[in-house]
């Protein structure tokens, strides 16, 4: 009976030892799990803080992007207005260019016509120059004739004066002869 009890005590001691070991193992595991839990809690806290910071950064980025987008929209609207103005200006320039091209065509046509007229006038001018040369030759001839006629006139005037003097002398002689005759 004592041996049974000793055996039972030994069994109980073995079981207690096994339970104590199990208990120590469980405590150790619990301690490890607790530490893991604390680590995970800290990690979660850090992750949440990080996520919060990221969210805040994202909000700032989104705000900045929205402001930038607003600026880009304004810039885009300005560029569209400028483009519209430039298109209108281009249309106006095309109209002006078309008018200028027509004017240039007309001016070229006028220039061609003026050149033709100039050729005709040049031809007329050449003919007139020839006629002037002929007339100058004739005029030169006439000048010579006039000079000759003047000389002849001067000679005639001298002869006329001599003739008048001669006639006066004759008249005087006739008077003297009549006087003598009367005497």
List, for residues 161-175, the tens digit of each pLDDT value.
Answer: 999 999 999 999 999
pLDDT at site 183: 82
Angle at 58 between CA 53 and CA 59, to 5 degrees: 95
- What are the structure tokens assigned to 20, written together? 């104590």
The predicted-structure confidence for 43-100, as pLDDT tens digits, reads as follows: 999 999 999 999 999 999 999 999 999 999 999 999 999 999 999 999 999 999 999 9
Give the mean pLDDT of 132-150: 94
This prediction has a pTM of 0.39
Angle at 29 between CA 23 and CA 31, to 5 degrees: 100
Q: Work out whether the CA dihedral 169, 172, 176, 181 comes out positive or negative.
A: positive
- How far is residue 63's CA from residue 70's CA, in Å, rounded to a whole number? 10
- How far is residue 49's CA from residue 58's CA, in Å, rounded to a whole number? 14
């Amino acid at each position: 009976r004592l041996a049974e009890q000793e055996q039972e005590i030994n069994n109980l001691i073995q079981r207690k030892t096994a339970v104590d070991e199990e208990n120590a193992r469980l405590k150790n595991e619990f301690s490890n799990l607790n530490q893991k839990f604390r680590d995970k809690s800290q990690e979660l806290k850090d992750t949440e803080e990080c996520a919060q910071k990221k969210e805040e950064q994202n909000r700032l980025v989104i705000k900045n992007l929205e402001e930038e987008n607003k600026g880009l929209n304004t810039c885009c609207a300005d560029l569209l207005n400028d483009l519209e103005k430039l298109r209108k200006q281009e249309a106006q320039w095309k109209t002006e260019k078309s008018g200028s091209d027509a004017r240039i065509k007309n001016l070229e046509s006028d220039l061609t016509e003026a050149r033709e007229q100039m050729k005709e006038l040049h031809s007329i001018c050449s003919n007139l120059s020839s006629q002037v040369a002929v007339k100058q030759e004739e005029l030169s001839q006439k000048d010579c004739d006039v000079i000759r006629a003047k000389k002849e006139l001067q000679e005639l005037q001298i002869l006329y004066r001599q003739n008048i003097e001669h006639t006066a002398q004759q008249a005087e002689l006739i008077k003297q002869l009549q006087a003598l005759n009367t005497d």
